[in-house]
A and B are shown apart, each in its own frame.
Chain A
């Protein structure tokens, strides 16, 4: 596997580790942005152009900013006095390590049965943006409308949940 893959994977994993380990919450959010960027680069390496650009646009351009705003609005930049990890972090670590072990074993055990195992890579599927657009209106129109409805509901819900209460009800 190529050097580029190792570099991008290293960047992504480093960003993810920093995002869950750092003390300062805003630093965690910025490290998460690095992880998102690394993932977008991986999508581009996998010839999924539209998914890569959508990842940058949506995750880095919107979700990261949302996380950062939420941290600022909840004064998360002050470090808590009891430390940043919860009461019993060991259970969480053991669970995560166990899941990684199971997934890793499954992937490596079936490496021969996966496509491309013989050393000959399968050709990349060519998906143009026009095909995606046609499919969104043709075959995937129902999921598109449902996602639009979901986004509208999420928008209205988030505004109502986070809105200030009326002055009389205070």
Chain B
């Protein structure tokens, strides 16, 4: 461990922790919506990484990091909308959002 943690290390560790929590949630929960919540957490962790590097990194181009993060936020919102529409549609067919019960393509 480095003797003096610079601020960038702190932000990167928090982003890694958020990513791991989101991944754990997406892989273990039973409800489909909670998987989407986990995915949103992962996307947010990546955004935090981008902005942390934009702030503390070298700046040949001061705008790229911020623009990347903003586009990522927009795309994540679109993907959340479509994913939740899919979950609603599946619920209408199978009357459940339990991912373990959707095993018709198994075996």
Contact of A100 among B11, B20, B70 (CB under 8 A): B20
Instruction: Verify B21–A111 contact, CB threshold 8 A.
Output: no
Say whether B99 contacts A119, CB under 8 Å.
no
| Chain A: number of interface residues, binned into ranges | 35 or more
Please measure, in the bound complex, the distance between the C-alpha atom of A155 and the C-alpha atom of B98, giving whole angstroms: 25
Q: Interface on chain A toward B: helix, strand, loop, or mixed SS?
A: helix
Distance from A15 Cβ to chain B, minimum over Cβ atoms (Å) = 9
Residues of A within 8 A of B87 (CB): 70, 74
Tally of contact residues, B, Cβ under 8 A: 75
Whether A67 lies near B37 (C-beta < 8 A) is: yes
- Output the nearest chain B residue to A154 by Cβ-Cβ distance: B78
Contact between B30 and A91 (Cβ–Cβ < 8 Å)?
Answer: no
CB nearest to B4 among chain A residues = A119
Contact pick for A9, options B8, B10, B58, CB 8 Å: B10
State the B residues within 8 Å of A (CB). 1-2, 4-14, 16-31, 33-34, 36-38, 40-41, 44, 47-48, 51-52, 54-59, 62-63, 66-67, 69-71, 73-82, 84-89, 91, 97-100
Residues of A within 8 A of B (CB): 1, 5, 9, 12-13, 16-17, 19-20, 25, 28-29, 32, 35-36, 39, 42-43, 46-48, 50-51, 54-55, 58-59, 62-63, 66-67, 69-71, 73-76, 80, 82-87, 89, 91-93, 95-97, 99-100, 103-104, 107-108, 111-112, 114-117, 119, 121-122, 124-127, 131-132, 135-136, 140, 143, 147, 150-151, 154-155, 157-159, 161-162
Pairs of residues from A and B, 6 with the lowest C-beta to C-beta distance, nearest first: A92-B27, A20-B25, A100-B20, A96-B24, A154-B78, A158-B85
Beyond A48-B54, A59-B44, 20 extra complex contacts between A and B, CB < 8 Å = A20-B38, A25-B33, A39-B47, A59-B73, A66-B81, A67-B36, A67-B37, A80-B30, A82-B98, A86-B30, A89-B28, A111-B2, A117-B2, A117-B6, A122-B59, A127-B62, A131-B63, A132-B63, A147-B75, A157-B85
